[in-house]
Amino acid sequence: MAKQKGFIKLKGSLGGLTFYRNNGDDLIRTTGGVDKNRIKNDSAFKRTRENMSEFGGSASVGKALRMGFANIIKSMSDNSIVGIITGVMKKINSVGTGVRGQRAFEILPNKILLDGFEFSKNTPLDAIFYAPNNHQYWMSIEV
């Protein structure tokens, strides 16, 4: 993988090369891969389309979770939080019911997969967000 050293930094594709930025470095790689239309239509890429569908769903559900905790995430997470949450949602999706590529996100029945999840390794969530999870506490609340 090549690095850009000049003062002109490019982004995108040009002449078979792709210019991009990763972790503060300006990098170059050759453009490659399978044609988009072939992935969309060729029967040989059926599994790829299923995987794309499930990954896209995991990213969307993960984004909804991040938006729900937006204020907390701003103060305690890092750049890897998107990938971490998407990975957790992919695990939840993979145990869901239904046909591959169309499985539902059954978060509540699979909440065990969220045990130990933290938005940051350095700052636990319960240090910022306090919600008692004591059964006796919930039983003593009067409405």
Close Cβ partners of 51 (under 8 Å, ≥ 6 residues apart)? 101
For the whole model, what pTM was predicted?
0.63
Instruction: Give the DSSP H or E segment for 9.
Output: none
Strands 25-30 and 2-3: antiparallel
Give the pair of three-digit tokens for residue 90.
């992919």
Q: Which residue shows structure tokens 């506490």?
A: 137
Q: Domain residues of the chain, as ranges?
A: 1-32, 40-117
* 88 has a pLDDT exceeding 60: yes
The predicted pLDDT at position 45 comes to 94
Please tell me whether residue 3 adopts helix, strand or coil conformation.
strand
Q: Residue 3's pLDDT band (boundaries 50, 70, 90)?
A: low
Q: Which residue shows structure tokens 């059964």?
A: 135
Percent of the chain scoring above 90 in pLDDT = 24
pLDDT digits (tens, 9 = 90+) for 110-138: 888 888 777 777 777 666 666 665 544 44
Please tell me whether residue 20 adopts helix, strand or coil conformation.
strand
Secondary structure (DSSP) of 68-81: HTHHHHHHH--TTH
